[in-house]
Amino acid sequence: MYYTHLGRSGLKVSRLCLGTMNFGPKTLEADSFAIMDRALELGLNFWDTADVYGWKKGEGITERIIGRYFAQGGGRREKVVLATKVYGDMGEWPNTSRLSALHIRRACEASLERLQTDYLDLYQMHHVWREAPWEEIWQALELLVQQGKVIYTGSSNFAGWHIAKANEAARRRHFLGLISEQSLYNLNARTVERDLLPACEDYGLGVIPWSPLGGGLLGGILSDVEAGSRRAGITLSETDRPKIEKWEALCATLGEKPADVALAWLLHQKAVTAPIIGPRTVDQLNGSLRALDIQLSSETLAQLDIIFPGHKPSPEGYAW
């Protein structure tokens, strides 16, 4: 396993992040335990979850599965850089969601209880909330840091200007602020290159891409269909098909699986710390490791930019 710093922090994390969203809804608890065991065997120390995962309001199903895994002991919790999120709707009353100071504090306590841990390594805002001032948000998060319940803070699904606004507010309070941003980023979804990635680079945030395979689009969908299988829920539009045909043909010339090349491409982007992989089985987890050792040449990267055009940073992308 390879490790790197999470953004400008001194925290060392694996270059792949274990996403746990499938734990509960799609992966049984016993199988989830097996995946987490294997992740530790491989040295994959960066794990991501959220209070809303499990998708039954207020129950925190996925966090509870992880908590029961940690409760087995054996140094499991201490080996993991654990990240969870706050924002989603966890109840029926007005202050059971979003980013009020009240909800942040209550949500943190609830996540700690479900995860059976005393602290969160990375506490992420799952979405920006424009109705709460940054003074309120940082006041709540600073208190959690002072209490030892949170070590680092991060964001998810922010825009570049949100990163700037948040970290400038933190700077005024002499607080570390955001060290990471978790965002949609893959070969077929590159809009973050306009403003978000430049902001993250400038402020020293590690980028944690979610949906690195584009919801399965980049995972070898045509090859699967030709082999007689069909991926549920994936629709290939007439616009996408020519790109995917060229994409899978290029991967074939490289002698690599499309999913592995898609992850490897993200690992070649300088702002990226660790793409989130969401294995449903141990075999899927094992298969993801190949991406760590794929080196893409400048010629291959240029070919990928032709198939999946990127975005120049704004305003250079549209003005001098």
Is residue 69 annotated as a catalytic residue, yes or no? no
Other beta carbons within 10 Å of 299:
8
CB 155 within 8 A of CB 181: yes
Does the CA dihedral 296-273-189-214 come out positive or negative?
Answer: positive
Tokens of 296: 């893409």
CA 51 to chain centre: 14
Which DSSP category does 280 fall into? S
Which DSSP category does 47 fall into? E
Helix H or strand E encompassing 224: helix 221-226
Which DSSP category does 186 fall into? B
Question: Whose CA is closest to 253, among 311, 296, 190?
Answer: 296
User: Of the residues 2, 3, 53, 119, which is catalytic?
Assistant: 53
By annotation, the residues acting in catalysis are 53
